[in-house]
Amino acid sequence: MAARRRGCLKRRGSDSWLISFFMHFDHNGKRRDFTQTVRGTRKEAEQRLQKKLLEHDQGTLSANPNLTLNEFFAEWLESFDKVRNSLRTWTGDEMIYNRHFRDTIGNKKIDKIQPLDIQRIYGAMSQRGLAPQTIKHVHALIRKVLNRAVRLNVLQRNPALLVDTPKVPRIERRTLDAEEARRFIAACGSIPQGLIFEFALLTGMRPEEFLAVKWGDLDIERKTVRVVRALVRLKGSFSFNEPKTSRSRRTIILPEPLVHKLVIHKQKQWFQRQKALNLWEDNDLIFCSEFGTPLAIPNITYRYFRPLLVQAGLPRIRLYDLRHSHATLLLTAEEHPKVVAERLGHSTIVLTLDTYSHVLPTIQKRATDKLEKMLFG
């Protein structure tokens, strides 16, 4: 083996040569070398070696030209996604990748993937009737994965950046107005599970948040409840994880009538616990099954929430729209957007204003009326 400026050249056959040189140590401290087989004369192999060394020095060399997209994604998932994100996030990323990329372009060499390859996947998704928002989520994942490949010098450029995605139409979700909200709360009092949905409307919590609230998070004296965890269900099991963002950890002040109902609910739950005996699983949850286990969002939606809407003569909305209704009611009541953002656990007030921009014209009209009265009598 002969050394060639940090590189090595080794004969493999009569017209075959192996060129190699050290690139870097990976995140596990393992040495990573560039290797490539070159056919031709020794001089041609030496020229190829010098060319690859120059690309390495300039930061344009693919770290592993033989790496497939599937292989890189598996490495990205284990060493990056799982380390930085929650169980729910990386499991979702894995599911999206397996569904849309693994069997389509996953076996292609990562540096051979072209924008058109990705564009065709999106076209097939559109033909299957998948929503533009779904395609946007898929695109966000592959763009994120390939951006990482560029940073690690596995790719020179990210082909996903050159792909067009469908325009996502802005959807204004149906929410409950004040009169409808009063009817909704009245209907909640007529069924045993209704307190769950009244709590959701009056706190603005996400479903995975209010189903993870424990009695220890509730302060009866101060009339407050803390949001400190989120319920995650995966493959038949459940866990409690950190909330969606750091701002999602928050304390919400509760209306007094709701606090009173929670006190009564706790007493009823105690009797339920005595009835279950050894079958009771103590998770300290405010809202749980007859055996103390966490409730499932699809289950309470189809069994209780939708029939409740029918009973109250209200339009069909999603369970998550109770959160939107909470925000809309506060904004139309002229509550400051920053206060609304804090109750919702939004990362910024900009997110709140952007999400509920449909409410702003009403607020603007009231502001104009006040100004007119002030200046023109």
The structural domains of the chain, with segments of one domain joined by +, span 2-58, 69-162, 178-364
The verdict on domain 178-364 having CATH code 1.10.443.10 is: yes
Task: Please say whether the beta carbons of 163 and 181 come within 8 A.
Answer: no
Tokens found for residue 203: 């706190």
Average pLDDT, stretch 67-80? Answer: 89
Q: What is the 3-state secondary structure (H, E, C) of 86-97?
A: CHHHHHHHHHHH
Give the type of residue at 36. Q
Q: In what order do the strands lie in the sheet with 16-25?
A: 2-4, 7-13, 16-25, 31-39
**Helices 132-151 and 87-100, packing angle to 10 deg:** 100
Cα 92 to the center of its chain, rounded Å:
8
Average pLDDT, stretch 8-15? Answer: 87
Task: Give the burial class of 173: count Cβ atoms within 10 A of its Cβ; 0-12 exposed, 13-18 middle, 19 or more buried.
Answer: middle
Q: CA torsion sign, 185 to 191 to 192 to 193?
A: negative
Tokens found for residue 271: 């009797």
Q: How many Å apart are CA 340 and CA 326, to the nearest integer?
A: 9
From 200, 94, 171, 180, select the one nearest 138 (Cα to Cα): 94
Question: Hey, how many other C-beta atoms are within 10 angstroms of the C-beta on 359?
Answer: 20
What residues does 157 pair with on adjacent strands? none
Task: Please say whether the beta carbons of 214 and 285 come within 8 A.
Answer: yes
Instruction: Please give the mean pLDDT across all residues of the chain.
Output: 87
At 111-131, the pLDDT tens digits run 899 999 999 999 999 999 999
Q: Helix (H, G, I), strand (E, B), or coil: what is residue 291? A: coil
Q: Which residues contact 164 (CB under 8 A, 6 or more apart)?
A: 119
Q: Model's pTM, two decimal places?
A: 0.70
Consecutive H or E run containing 11: strand 7-13
At 228-268, the pLDDT tens digits run 999 988 777 888 888 877 788 999 999 999 999 999 999 99
Average pLDDT, stretch 292-318? Answer: 95
Continuous H helices in 18-162: 42-58, 69-76, 82-84, 87-100, 115-127, 132-151
Tokens found for residue 158: 């990210």
pLDDT top residue among 41 and 87: 41
pLDDT, residue 185, reads 97
CATH architecture of 69-162: Orthogonal Bundle (1.10)
Tokens found for residue 207: 């479903």
pLDDT, residue 3, reads 40
With left for phi above 0 and alpha for psi between -120 and 50, is residue 234 left, alpha or beta? beta
Measure the CA angle with vertex 314, ends 289 and 185; round to 5°: 55
DSSP string over 324-336: HHHHHHHHHTT--
Q: What is the CA radius of gyration of the chain?
A: 29
Q: How many Å apart are CA 22 and CA 11, to the nearest integer?
A: 18
Tokens found for residue 333: 């009541």
1, pLDDT greater than 60: no
Question: Hey, how many other C-beta atoms are within 10 angstroms of the C-beta on 128?
Answer: 8
Tokens found for residue 18: 């192996």
Q: Which residues contact 237 (CB under 8 A, 6 or more apart)?
A: none
Continuous H helices in 101-236: 115-127, 132-151, 178-188, 194-203, 207-210
**Same CATH fold assignment for domains 69-162 and 178-364:** no
pLDDT, residue 169, reads 79
Give the type of residue at 62. S
At 184-239, the pLDDT tens digits run 999 999 988 999 999 999 999 999 999 999 999 999 999 999 999 999 887 778 88
Place of tokens 């030209």: 65
